[in-house]
């Protein structure tokens, strides 16, 4: 900057000075010609020439120094403001306040200081808003994708990335329909981008069912982006299906004994009540079906209670004592089938913060099931502490089950042998109740079985 200003000024000064010297010498020469001798002419001429050159040289030096000082007063603040501007660009908005002699520069510096403070405040607010928005988007249980007016992805949150297996470095600026395929989705995007119609659709993405909506992001009716919201409703759909199946199964299970009761009552009313033996047999059947219906309702209520229950601070459950009580309750049922109940109490198990009633319910269902599905042999119950874990094992020598049945036995109303279960008074909810009680206490249940070789249930607390 110095050279660009000083050199032209100095050059102009010397040009003007040389012109003035030349004109002065010509004028002086004319004067001497008219009134002087040759010696005086030459001496005066030389003296004037050197004097003018000296004045020009001294004037040049003084002008150079003056310009240098003035330029320094102007250039130094500009250089400092330039450095501040570069720091602003890097995000550093703090700098020292400065005072300058030149009023215009001081006004510029003050404006610069005010701009820095306002910009710093604005940037802080924007960063805060950005962080808040990112936190909100990250905590949502919905996937969010932002696309521009051409359908290219500009933003998406983490859940959307997980649902669609999107990677930031590969997905940005890609058209949305190249990442999410399907006629329904293509129509949803096409209606929004081209027809300005915004709707929703249920999409199947792999093993997930996703409810997808698209809405415009607009300002004064000017759409500049679109927001796609993805909600995973797989669990909801599964729950709806389970609810439908449950209601259907309950209706069927209740309908069977009610139909039987109704049929026998009508038969009795039509005259069978006159025959004492027939009437007594029918009443026994009605009693059996009524008790079966009662057990079914009790199991449904118990299952509902356990599903909605949270673990509480119960007392302690002495498992070995509970098993002895269960064996006493079921010994008559086992005796009728000539099945031996064996309790192999290797270790004494005491569970803290556990309901004794829940443990009794679990053992009743497991041992009762073992007796139902065993025609001969024994049922062995074992308690032991292994690797600092409490293990309860119920083993029978019954009919066992196929491998494909093992993954379904904890489902409501699932029966490996439907005829045997109903004949023995089973409701089809026993193992489902066991599973929910085990889950309530954070325990594990494992099943090992082979057809004709019996079944082993292992509980680990």
* Residue among 19, 18, 44, 7 at smallest CA distance from 29: 44
Percent of the chain with pLDDT over 90: 3
pLDDT at residue 162, as a whole number: 74
So what's the pLDDT on residue 287?
82
Percent above pLDDT 70 for the chain? 73
What does the alpha-carbon distance between residue 362 and residue 328 come to, in Å, rounded to a whole number? 15
- Cβ neighbour number for residue 54 with a 10 Å cutoff: 10
CATH for the 236-308 domain, from 3.40.50.2020, 1.10.10.10, 1.50.10.10, 1.10.287.130: 1.10.287.130
Mean pLDDT for the stretch of residues 71-78: 71
Return the minimum-mean-pLDDT range out of 158-167, 269-278, 330-339, 424-433. Answer: 424-433
For residues 36-57, average pLDDT: 60
Q: Rounded distance, CA 174 to CA 179, Å? A: 8
Predicted confidence band at 393 (pLDDT cuts at 50, 70, 90)? Answer: very high
Q: How large is the average pLDDT for residues 38-43?
A: 52
- Whether residue 1 has pLDDT greater than 50: yes
The predicted-structure confidence for 6-26, as pLDDT tens digits, reads as follows 666 666 766 776 676 666 666
Of the candidate CATH numbers 3.40.640.10, 3.30.565.10, 3.10.150.10, 3.40.50.2000, the domain formed by 310-461 belongs to 3.30.565.10
Q: pLDDT band at 94, cuts 50/70/90?
A: low
> Is 80 exceeded by the pLDDT of residue 401?
yes
Per-domain residue ranges of the chain? 1-139, 140-232, 236-308, 310-461
Is residue 336 pLDDT above 80, yes or no?
Answer: yes
Q: Model confidence at 249, in pLDDT bands (50, 70, 90)?
A: low
Predicted TM-score (pTM) of this structure: 0.50
pLDDT, one tens digit per residue, over 168-190 is 555 666 777 777 777 777 888 88
CA–CA gap between residue 376 and residue 372 (Å, rounded): 10
359 phi and psi angles, rounded to 5 deg = -65, -40
Pairing of β 389-396 and β 350-352: unpaired
Instruction: Calculate the average pLDDT of the chain.
Output: 76
What is the pLDDT, as a whole number, of residue 420? 44
Query: For residue 25, what pLDDT is reported?
Result: 61
164 near 232, Cβ under 8 Å? no
Cα dihedral across residues 253, 256, 261, 262: positive or negative: positive
Does the pLDDT of residue 79 top 80, yes or no? no
Residue 209's pLDDT is 83
Predicted confidence (pLDDT) per residue in 272-310, tens digit: 778 778 788 888 888 877 877 777 777 777 777 776 666
How far is Cα 194 from Cα 216, in angstroms, rounded to an integer?
12
Residue 86 has pLDDT above 80, yes or no: no
The per-residue pLDDT for 263 is 81
Residue 39's pLDDT is what? 47
* pLDDT in the model for residue 22: 65
**Sign, CA torsion 72/73/78/81:** positive
Lowest mean pLDDT among 11-25, 71-85, 246-260, 344-358: 11-25
Q: Which of 292, 284, 268, 171 is nearest to 228 (CA)?
A: 171
Region of residue 222 (phi > 0: left; psi between -120 and 50: alpha; otherwise: beta):
beta
CATH number for 140-232: choose from 3.40.50.970, 3.40.930.10, 3.30.450.20, 3.40.50.2300. 3.30.450.20
Could you identify the residue written with the tokens 């940005």?
Answer: 172
What pLDDT sits at residue 285?
A: 80
Show the tokens assigned to 192. 């929004």
Distances (CA, A) of 85 to 96, 102, 111, 325, 338: 13, 20, 12, 85, 96
């Amino acid at each position: 900057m110095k050279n660009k200003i000083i050199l032209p000024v100095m050059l102009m000064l010397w040009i003007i000075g040389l012109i003035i010297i030349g004109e002065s010498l010509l004028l002086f020469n004319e004067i001497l010609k008219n009134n002087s001798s040759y010696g005086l002419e030459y001496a005066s001429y030389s003296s004037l020439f050197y004097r003018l050159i000296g004045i020009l040289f001294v004037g040049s030096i003084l002008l150079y120094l003056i310009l240098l000082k003035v330029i320094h007063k102007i250039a130094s603040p500009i250089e400092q403001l330039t450095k501040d501007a570069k720091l602003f660009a890097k995000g550093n908005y703090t700098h020292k306040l400065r005072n300058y002699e030149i009023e215009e520069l001081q006004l510029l510096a003050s404006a610069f200081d005010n701009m820095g403070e306002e910009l710093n405040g604005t940037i802080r607010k924007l960063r805060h808003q950005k962080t808040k928005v990112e936190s909100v988007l990250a905590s949502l249980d919905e996937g969010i994708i932002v696309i521009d007016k051409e359908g290219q992805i500009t933003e998406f949150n983490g859940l959307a990335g997980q649902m669609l297996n999107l990677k930031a470095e590969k997905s940005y600026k890609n058209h949305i329909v190249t990442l999410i395929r399907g006629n329904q989705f293509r129509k949803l995007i096409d209606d929004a981008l081209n027809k300005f119609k915004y709707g929703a659709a249920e999409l199947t993405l792999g093993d997930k069912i996703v409810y997808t909506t698209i809405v415009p992001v607009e300002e004064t009716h000017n759409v500049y982006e679109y927001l796609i919201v993805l909600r995973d409703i797989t669990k909801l759909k599964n729950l709806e299906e389970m609810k439908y199946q449950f209601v259907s199964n309950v209706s069927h299970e209740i309908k069977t004994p009610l139909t039987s009761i109704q049929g026998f009552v009508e038969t009795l009313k039509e005259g069978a009540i006159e025959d004492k033996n027939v009437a007594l047999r029918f009443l026994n059947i009605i009693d059996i079906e009524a008790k079966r219906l009662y057990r079914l309702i009790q199991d449904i209520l118990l299952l509902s209670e356990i599903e909605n229950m949270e673990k509480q601070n119960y007392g302690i459950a002495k498992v070995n004592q509970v098993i002895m009580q269960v064996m006493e309750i079921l010994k008559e049922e086992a005796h009728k089938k000539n099945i031996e109940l064996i309790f192999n109490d290797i270790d004494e198990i005491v569970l803290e913060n556990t309901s004794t009633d829940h443990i009794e319910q679990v053992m009743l269902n497991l041992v009762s099931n073992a007796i139902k599905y065993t025609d001969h042999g024994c049922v062995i119950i074992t308690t032991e502490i292994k690797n600092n874990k409490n293990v309860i094992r119920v083993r029978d020598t019954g009919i066992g089950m196929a491998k494909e049945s093992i993954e379904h036995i904890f489902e409501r109303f699932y029966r490996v042998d439907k005829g045997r279960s109903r004949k023995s008074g089973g409701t089809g909810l026993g193992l489902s109740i066991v599973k929910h009680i085990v889950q309530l206490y954070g325990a594990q249940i494992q099943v090992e079985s082979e057809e004709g070789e019996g079944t082993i249930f292992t509980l680990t607390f």
